[in-house]
Amino acid sequence: MNQFLNYMVPGVADGSVYALAAIGLVLTYKTSGVFNFAHGALAATGAYVFYEGYVEQGWKWPFAFLVSLLVVGVLGGLILERLATLLASAPTVTTVVATVGLLVLLQSLMTAIYGASDKKSGDFLPTNGPRVGDVTISYGEMMITGFCLGAALALFAFFGRTRMGRAMTAVVDDPNLLALQKSNPAVVRRLSWVLGSCFATISGMLLAPKLGVSVGVLVLIVIAAYGAAAVGLFENLPLTVAGAFFIGILVNYLPSQTQKTQSLFLQSMPRNVPFIVLLLVFLFVPARMLTERGVRNARRFKPPKAFSLPVTAAGLAALLGLMIAVPHVVAETDVTVYSAFVAYAIIFMSLGMLVWMSGQISLCHLGFAAIGATVSGKLMTLGFFGWLPLVGDKTVSWPVAVIIGGLVAIPFGAIVAIPAIRLAGIYVAIATFGFGILLQQAFYLAPVMFDGASLVQHPRPGEEFSVGATSKRFEPVEGTSAGLFGIDFSNEKNYYYLALSVLVVMAAIVLLVQRSRLGALLRAMADSGVALEAHGANTNVMRIIVFCLSAFMAGVGGGVLAGVTQSASGNPGGTFDYTVSLIFVAVLGFCGRRPILSPILAAFAFQVIKIYPPFDDPTMIKYRGVMFGALAIFVAVAPALNLNTLLGTRGKERALDAEGGGGGSSVRDRLDVTPVRPVTIRTVEEPVLLGSKGSGA
Choose among 220, 310, 344: nearest CA to 608. Answer: 344
For residue 369, pLDDT over 80 is answered with yes
Do 521 and 399 share a structural domain? yes
Cβ burial of 686 (10 Å; 0-12, 13-18, 19+) is: exposed
Residue 269 lies in a domain: yes
Strand partners, 136: 131
Do 195 and 87 share a structural domain? yes
Do 553 and 437 share a structural domain? yes
Report pLDDT for 692.
40
> Predicted confidence band at 465 (pLDDT cuts at 50, 70, 90)?
very low
Report pLDDT for 478.
40
Do 150 and 207 share a structural domain? yes
Q: Is 286 left (phi over 0), alpha (psi -120 to 50) or beta?
A: beta
Angle between helices 2-32 and 76-86 (to 10 degrees): 50
- What CATH code is carried by the domain that includes residue 118? 1.10.3470
Give the highest mean pLDDT range of 25-34, 229-238, 540-549, 670-679. Answer: 540-549
Q: Is 0.85 topped by the overall pTM?
A: no
Residue 626 lies in a domain: no
Query: Contacts from 67-76 at CB under 8 Å and sequence distance 24+?
Result: 68/201, 68/205, 69/198, 69/201, 69/202, 72/42, 72/45, 72/46, 72/197, 72/201, 73/46, 73/194, 73/197, 73/198, 73/200, 73/201, 73/202, 74/194, 74/197, 74/198, 76/42, 76/45, 76/197, 76/201
Do 28 and 138 share a structural domain? yes
| Mean per-residue pLDDT over the chain, rounded | 80
Tell me the per-residue pLDDT of 671-688, one tens digit each, with 9 for 90 and over: 444 444 454 444 444 444
Report pLDDT for 34.
83
Residue 330 lies in a domain: no
For residue 656, pLDDT over 50 is answered with no
Report pLDDT for 366.
92
Residue 305 lies in a domain: no
Number of domains composing the chain: 3
What spatial distance separates the first Cα and last Cα of the chain, rounded to whole Å? 80
> Range of 650's domain?
642-697
More confident residue, 665 or 611: 611
More confident residue, 680 or 36: 36
Do 522 and 415 share a structural domain? yes
Report pLDDT for 454.
63
Measured between alpha carbons, how far is 489 from 25 in angstroms, rounded to an integer? 50
The residue out of 263, 291, 319 marking a domain boundary is 291
Do 214 and 279 share a structural domain? yes
Report pLDDT for 300.
64
Report pLDDT for 685.
46
Report pLDDT for 483.
53
Report pLDDT for 188.
83
Tell me the per-residue pLDDT of 410-428, one tens digit each, with 9 for 90 and over: 999 999 888 888 877 788 8
More confident residue, 255 or 623: 623
> Predicted confidence band at 289 (pLDDT cuts at 50, 70, 90)?
confident
Do 400 and 481 share a structural domain? yes
Q: Span 186-215, mean pLDDT?
A: 86
Report pLDDT for 161.
82
Do 343 and 242 share a structural domain? no
Residue 328 lies in a domain: no
More confident residue, 473 or 346: 346
For residue 501, pLDDT over 50 is answered with yes
Do 344 and 262 share a structural domain? no
For residue 80, pLDDT over 70 is answered with yes
Do 362 and 251 share a structural domain? no
Report pLDDT for 681.
47
Do 525 and 422 share a structural domain? yes
Helix (H) or strand (E) holding 135: strand 135-136
Tell me the per-residue pLDDT of 165-180, one tens digit each, with 9 for 90 and over: 788 777 776 777 777 7
The residue out of 267, 291, 315 marking a domain boundary is 291
For residue 1, pLDDT over 70 is answered with no
Cβ burial of 593 (10 Å; 0-12, 13-18, 19+) is: middle
The residue out of 557, 578, 599 marking a domain boundary is 578
Report pLDDT for 697.
43
Residue 105 lies in a domain: yes
